[in-house]
Structure 1
Amino acid sequence: MRKIRTTVVTAVLTAVGLLTTPAAALAADDVPARPGMGTCTDRVFGGTFLCGGNYGEGKAFYKFSNGTEEIFVIGTDHAVWTRWTVVGGELSRWTTLGGRSEIGPIVTNRGRDAVSVTIRDSQGTAWARDRSTAGRWGDWRRVSGSAPSEPVA
């Protein structure tokens, strides 16, 4: 009953925009225990995300040519979440890119501020989502082979 109540309250708060962190989908005590895995918080961007074990540091960054910095994390719901700096040093709200990952996010530069975020699901399948130079995100697409182990700058 507690989990149902927590899920309903979380869904309502998220729907009205009062809960917008990567931890929105699951309470910290709902994160399955895995060897070496835990949760972390970034000192600049905040948020609660998975780290340790397969997740490594649990975060990846990209700095755009205009100085905007963006963080990508795997939330406690295993979805990719992102947040970025905006003019004046403020931070955007957390935004989910969806997906479901069992590793930390890998961000690759595709040139001229176009980036890809790559994750791997529980079956080991690699998935990527691309951001265009105009800032639009495409859909998740399956990547042949396995996810890269290191970002390509």
Structure 2
Amino acid sequence: MAVAATSTATQAAPKSEDVSIQASSTPGAVYQTSDGLCHFRNWGGNWFCKGTGIDLVYWNKPDGHPQVFVIGTDHSVWSRWSTASSTSSWRDMGGWCNPDYGLPARSSGWSITVACVGSDNNWWHNTRATSGSWSGWKPGKGF
């Protein structure tokens, strides 16, 4: 893209399709409603926000694009992410998590581990390998 060839007027007022792409590539601000659930302005969704400090995981992937993880109202972990060209829909990662314990996570490069306390009151974790595949839920916190 030749930035020098772009007019100042175009830079100040991007085309509407550019604005919608930019808006959907980030989740937007989080807000809480009177029902005690949280939502993203741009990406929507409903999840528990108990004030644990780790009610959601916001991961800036190495390519600079975000991926988020939340405990949905069905107690399952849900994720949504963006790439340079698109934004995913919400994906159910399964599991059953108690939102009172939050959703801690650790990442390194393209790998991330998310953990939660399951219905058995034990820690469980799911790890994304650098290849992009997920381990599935395994016992223990994972970090």
Identity %: 31
Which residue identity lines up with residue 105 of structure 1 in the other structure?
Answer: L
Query: Whole-Å Cα distance in 2 between the matches of residues 74 and 124 of structure 1?
Result: 16
1:9-54 Cα offsets, whole Å, 9 max, x none, are xxxxxxxxxxxxxxxxxxxxxxxxxxxx82110224321111115x
Aligned residue among 89, 93, 96 for 1:97:
93
SS of equivalent to 2:73: coil
**TM-score, normalization: structure 1?**
0.62
Aligned residue among 60, 64, 74 for 2:71:
74
Q: Does the CA-based 8 Å contact 1:64-1:113 persist in structure 2?
A: yes
Q: Does the CA-based 8 Å contact 2:115-2:126 persist in structure 1?
A: yes
TM-superposed deviation, 1:65? 1.0
TM-superposed deviation, 1:135? 0.7
Which residue of the partner structure matches residue 45 of structure 1?
43
What is the CA RMSD across the aligned residues, in angstroms?
A: 2.2
**TM-score, normalization: structure 2?**
0.66
Which residue of the partner structure matches residue 127 of structure 1?
124
Q: 1:56 to 1:39 in 2, by over 3 A?
A: farther
Q: After TM superposition, where is structure 1 displaced by more than 4 Å over at least 4 residues in a row?
A: none
* Structure having the higher Rg: 2
Which residue identity lines up with residue 93 of structure 2 in the other structure?
Answer: L
**Per chain length, whose mean CA-contact separation is higher, i.e. which structure has more relative contact order (CA < 8 Å, sep 6+)?**
1
Uncovered stretches (5+) of structure 2, i.e. residues with no partner? 1-34
Task: Establish whether residue 108 from structure 1 lines up as the match of residue 106 from structure 2.
Answer: yes
Which residue of the partner structure matches residue 115 of structure 2?
118
Q: Does the CA-based 8 Å contact 1:39-1:48 persist in structure 2?
A: yes
- The count of corresponding residues between Structure 1 and Structure 2 is 107
Which residue of the partner structure matches residue 58 of structure 1?
55
Which residue identity lines up with residue 134 of structure 1 in the other structure?
Answer: S
Uncovered stretches (5+) of structure 1, i.e. residues with no partner? 1-36
Query: Whole-Å Cα distance in 2 between the matches of residues 38 and 69 of structure 1?
Result: 24
TM-superposed deviation, 1:91? 1.9
Query: Whole-Å Cα distance in 2 between the matches of residues 66 and 132 of structure 1?
Result: 16
